[in-house]
Amino acid sequence: MPRPIIAAIHVDALTHNLSVARQHSRGAKVWAVVKANAYGHGLDNALCAFSQADGLALVEVDGAVTLRESGWRKPILLLEGFFRAEDLVQVKQHHIDVVVHNSHQIDLLARSGFPAGANENSGKNVVESINKIRVHLKINGGMNRLGFKPAQAAVAFQRLQAIDDVEIVDMVMHFANADDAFNTNLPLAEQLRRFVQAQSAIKAVSETSDVARHSSLCNSASILLQDGLNTEWVRAGIMLYGGTPTLATAISFDLKPAMTLSSEVIAIQDLEVGDAVGYGSRFIAPTAMRIGVVACGYADGYPRHAPNGTPVLVDGVRTMLVGRVSMDMLTVDLSAIPEARVGSAVTLWGQGLPIDDVAHSAGTIGYELMCAVAQRVPLVVDSN
């Protein structure tokens, strides 16, 4: 028998959450973000669930090629662009859009000089293109990760415009604090002001270009919380998978969990007052109690740093983690679940237990938990 832990992927929930993103997007087109193997849910599952998205966005070049070879014909966007000159051959062969966020990338584009045959590919499932490389110009609005600062935007635009193989599609920016619009270090309004400054600079150097009118700004937080923002495209990420980037619950936005990590109780221990549990003996039984040993540990992706009290479901009843998470096991309090036994069903997160509840208790975010599910945990598509 295989070890009793699985991650069930709810494809219907993924599709539902995409519809929620569209409802909040004021008519904008939706990039469904599928980086990190679709946040741990599987690219193949995302491809099926997000068939009605206007485009798919990710950071892995090989993943973008896989999507094309799997039959996706709509736009694909590389959110970090390309990393080396060799990537550009794949980008052009497979008609993949790229974000350009630094001068080094512009240098590579300017030197690319695609040789004859660069667009040839015999694979029947591969998009062949003689079109220009579609570039999305990234603006640094103050987050200071990627992008050109407003004062650099016009020069970057002019350099790109001078490259025959390039078509500049729009301007993009990423909000640092869309869930905290009045953040004292970087308010949302200040990021928008800097974006408008970059737009104005580009308009000033190119009266014929309409690039400055087209934008992609909104991530999940701004889609859900900033309804007044009008952009041509939005980038829906964590919300598609049933998590929320805000302190509000996912269910309050009608988002459904798309992954349920489940296991079973594999052993039960009866403790007396003063008995310790697990490595470091960090939990001491305050009274006589039963604990269940669950087949899930940090090697499966469960956070080792999760503290006593982190919520867990056993046979549908909410209880809590006790003791330190080990590599392959964790322990839970069964005191209020007298009917629990070896083989009882355990939900670590998902249907019945929001992943954000677990993440907040563990001092992290739902994104990390989804993406950290280990390869040894089978992904099973939920057919219900």
- pLDDT digit string (tens) for 94-109? 999 999 999 999 999 9
- The band of 372, judged by pLDDT with boundaries at 50, 70 and 90, is very high
Report, as an integer, the average pLDDT of 247-269: 94
The per-residue pLDDT for 112 is 85
> Quick check: 152 pLDDT over 70?
yes
By the 8 A CB rule, do 80 and 100 touch?
Answer: no
> Quick check: 116 pLDDT over 60?
no
> Quick check: 247 pLDDT over 90?
no
> Quick check: 246 pLDDT over 90?
no
Closest alpha carbon to 38 in 63, 5, 19, 12: 63
> What DSSP line would sit under 215-278, residue for residue?
EEEE-HHHHHH-TT---SEEEE-GGGGT--SSSS-GGGGT----EEEEEEEEEEEEE-TT-EES
Rounded to 5, what percent of the chain is helix, strand, coil?
30, 25, 45
C-beta neighbour count of 381 within 10 angstroms: 14
Cα–Cα distance, 27 to 76 (Å, whole number):
20
Q: How far apart are the first and last CA of the chain?
A: 23
By the 8 A CB rule, do 362 and 310 touch?
Answer: yes
The per-residue pLDDT for 227 is 77
The per-residue pLDDT for 64 is 98
pTM exceeds cut of 0.85: yes
* Structural domains of the chain ordered from first start: 12-243 (3.20.20.10), 259-381 (2.40.37.10)
The per-residue pLDDT for 26 is 86
Cα–Cα distance, 161 to 205 (Å, whole number):
11
Residue-averaged pLDDT of the chain = 93
The per-residue pLDDT for 249 is 83
Report, as an integer, the average pLDDT of 350-375: 96
Q: In this predicted model, what pLDDT tens digit does every residue of 307-358 receive, in sequence order?
A: 999 999 999 999 999 999 999 999 999 999 999 999 999 999 999 999 999 9
- The band of 138, judged by pLDDT with boundaries at 50, 70 and 90, is very high
The per-residue pLDDT for 302 is 98
The per-residue pLDDT for 114 is 55
Task: Report percent pLDDT > 90 for the chain.
Answer: 87
What would the two tokens of residue 341 be?
């036994």
The per-residue pLDDT for 384 is 65
> Quick check: 126 pLDDT over 60?
no
The per-residue pLDDT for 121 is 46
Q: In this predicted model, what pLDDT tens digit does every residue of 264-283 receive, in sequence order?
A: 999 999 999 999 999 999 99
Q: Which residue in the list 35, 92, 138, 256 is annotated as catalytic?
A: 35
Cα–Cα distance, 220 to 80 (Å, whole number):
18
> Quick check: 110 pLDDT over 80?
yes
**Any catalytic annotation for residue 35?**
yes
> Quick check: 123 pLDDT over 50?
no
Q: In this predicted model, what pLDDT tens digit does every residue of 3-32 receive, in sequence order?
A: 999 999 999 999 999 999 999 998 999 999
Q: Which residue in the list 92, 138, 279, 367 is annotated as catalytic?
A: 279
